[in-house]
Structure 1
Amino acid sequence: MSFDAEALQAELAEDRPPHGGPWSQLGAAVVAGAVGVAGLIGSVTLGLGRLTQPGPGLWPFVVCVVVTVLSIALALVGRHGTDTEKFSRASVQTAVAVLTLLIFAAVLPLIGFEIPSLLLTFVWLRFLGKESWVSSVAISVGTVAAFYVLFVLLLQIPLPRLI
């Protein structure tokens, strides 16, 4: 049995969605740039502090600088890439994941981390990951229990909690 690289490439190409083109690359760069700039503004409002006494916004600021610079680089040179995919039904899955994260962030301070974490993990496993009901429930409960033990009991981090 011999290895046929051309046949393998042809088979893999059949499974890939169609190329999105330069506008998809530019769109991704603009979205990433907007997120980076919003993060820069948010981190400055938190306070940067000094290098010897960093404020709560220093490391988010550094990360957002990197995101913004990389988005500019993507806008300039990424338009010639061929690794983008056209938006399709599969793209909706990413939008649902982002929406559930936003809901998680909104309700976390209101009702604690236990229920939102359990629901987020369950939704991602069952509906986005297509896991079975049993494994989705078991992994979700186990994950939240492990986070509770690690962050609340062992590290004593003051997370918003149900009780």
Structure 2
Amino acid sequence: MRTQARLGALVPLGIGALAALAAVSMGLGSPADPGPGLWPLIVSLAMVTLSASLLLNPGADTEQEPFSRQTAVVALGALSLVAYTLLIERVGFEVMTVLLLVLWMRGFGRDSWRLSLAVAVAACAASYLLFIVALGVSLPHLVAF
């Protein structure tokens, strides 16, 4: 199990390192005038630090859970977020948000169709009203009021 824990620490370590490089390339600015890469760099460095500590000290053998069906659900959830970000500009915020929430609630959570659709549509409408209408965030969307 220690090998499994170490492998589990390598993935976020690599992602954090790549994110840190991307953050530096965006420009850090200064503390008085922060650039767009400053906060992503701080979060990436925290991720690298925590991953490195897990890599060096994985803990006792009893602390880890074995890979199971739930592990696949987490991986599919992460892949669905990647698909969401890749398709949101083509399909629109509303459609992708409803599809993602239905997938998570019905597919992963095994909620009823009625509950999944109701929550997905309500959450999408609330997000639309908050981000697009109230805050004026520019998101690719199909519905225009």
TM-score with structure 1 length normalisation? 0.83
Question: Is the Cα contact below 8 Å between 1:126 and 1:133 reproduced in 2?
Answer: yes
Corresponding position: 1:115 with 2:95: yes
CA–CA separation in structure 2 for the residues paired with 1:81 and 1:46: 41
**1:82 is paired with a residue of what secondary structure?**
helix
**CA deviation map 1:1-24 (0-9, x unaligned):** xxxxxxxxxxxxxxxxxxxx1011
Corresponding position: 1:57 with 2:37: yes
**2:62 is paired with a residue of what secondary structure?**
coil
**Matched length:** 143
Task: Quote the RMSD (CA, aligned, Å).
Answer: 1.3
Runs of 5+ consecutive residues of structure 2 not aligned to the other structure: none
Runs of 5+ consecutive residues of structure 1 not aligned to the other structure: 1-20
CA shift for structure 1 position 79: 4.2
Q: Which residue of 2 aligns with 1:9?
A: none
CA shift for structure 1 position 112: 2.4
Corresponding position: 1:129 with 2:109: yes
CA–CA separation in structure 2 for the residues paired with 1:131 and 1:24: 32
Identity of aligned residues (%): 34
CA–CA separation in structure 1 for the residues paired with 2:46 and 2:139: 28
Which runs of 4 or more aligned residues in structure 1 lie more than 6 Å from their structure 2 counterparts after TM superposition?
none
TM-score with structure 2 length normalisation? 0.93
Q: Specify which of 29, 42, 49 is matched with residue 9 of structure 2.
A: 29
CA shift for structure 1 position 160: 2.0
Q: Which residue of 2 aligns with 1:47?
A: 27
Moved more, 34-43 or 61-70: 34-43
**CA deviation map 1:10-40 (0-9, x unaligned):** xxxxxxxxxxx10111011101101101110
Q: Which structure has the greater CA radius of gyration? A: 1
